């Protein structure tokens, strides 16, 4: 075996390069979002001193706490999707939304693998983490636990960390579509 053949594998990038590669976006970032989401939901449920499965027991607990002039805590069980869309309580809808979220996570992982830029990858990772975080609640309790309330400043929706991650991810994808479209157009000219 010659010396170049012996050392050529050293020059190849490590396949699980966690700082620049696919895996940080496919696993690490979504895992951080899921952990933060589930911990904050657990904290909110403990704060209001209700059973962990409150959303399964009572979809309208009606609990709130005036935290500050800007943000309050309000325990809301959302059987729909982000921002209160697709409301209604049925077992079919619960499992259809759970399966849809799982399928979309797989599709997003495929899109993530094809993405070349960091903003698209980060945005997709945020959406995956948010979908998994809310999917866990929906699968276990039939509704998603929401608790962050900005109604004092006119924002009427109550949300959670997963909803925030999904929203930031969608905004990031929109921004990336303009930024990278402009870059592609500039390189073509």
pLDDT digits (tens, 9 = 90+) for 1-28: 455 454 444 344 444 454 467 888 999 9
Q: What is the DSSP letter of 151?
A: G
CB 44 within 8 A of CB 54: no
| Cα separation, 165 vs 173, whole angstroms | 12
Which three-class secondary structure state does DSSP give residue 18?
Answer: coil
Render pLDDT for 46-73 as a digit per residue (tens, 0 to 9). 999 999 899 888 878 889 999 899 999 9
Catalytic residue among 49, 146, 152, 183: 146
Q: What is the mean pLDDT of residues 159-183?
A: 90
Marked catalytic residue, from 37, 49, 163, 183:
163
Contact call for residues 147 and 50 (beta carbons, < 8 A): no
The yes-or-no answer on residue 49 being catalytic is no
163 is catalytic: yes
pLDDT at 171 > cutoff 90 = yes
Q: Which two three-digit tokens encode residue 185?
A: 């157009």
pLDDT of 189 > 60? The answer is no
- Tokens at 164, concatenated: 């925030």
Per DSSP, helices labelled H in 29-160 are 29-47, 54-57, 91-114, 118-141
In the predicted structure, residue 127 carries a pLDDT above the cut 60:
yes
Model confidence at 140: pLDDT above 80: yes
- Let me know: does 167 contact 148? Beta carbons within 8 Å: no
Q: What is the pTM of this model?
A: 0.81
């Amino acid at each position: 075996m010659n010396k170049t053949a012996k050392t050529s594998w050293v020059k190849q990038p490590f396949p699980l390069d966690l700082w620049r590669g696919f895996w940080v976006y496919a696993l690490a970032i979504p895992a951080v979002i899921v952990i933060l989401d589930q911990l904050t939901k657990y904290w909110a449920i403990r704060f209001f001193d209700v059973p962990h499965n409150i959303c399964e027991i009572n979809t309208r607990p009606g609990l709130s706490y005036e935290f500050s002039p800007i943000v309050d805590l309000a325990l809301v069980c959302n059987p729909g999707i982000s921002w209160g869309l697709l409301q209604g309580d049925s077992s079919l809808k619960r499992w259809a939304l759970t399966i849809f979220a799982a399928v979309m996570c797989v599709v997003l992982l495929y899109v993530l693998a094809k993405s070349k830029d960091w903003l698209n990858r980060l945005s997709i990772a945020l959406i995956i983490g948010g979908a998994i975080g809310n999917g866990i609640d929906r699968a276990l309790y039939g509704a998603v636990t929401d608790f962050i309330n900005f109604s004092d400043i006119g924002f009427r929706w109550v949300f959670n960390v997963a909803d925030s991650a999904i929203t930031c991810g969608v905004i990031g994808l929109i921004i990336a579509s303009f930024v990278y479209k402009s870059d592609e157009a500039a390189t073509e000219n």
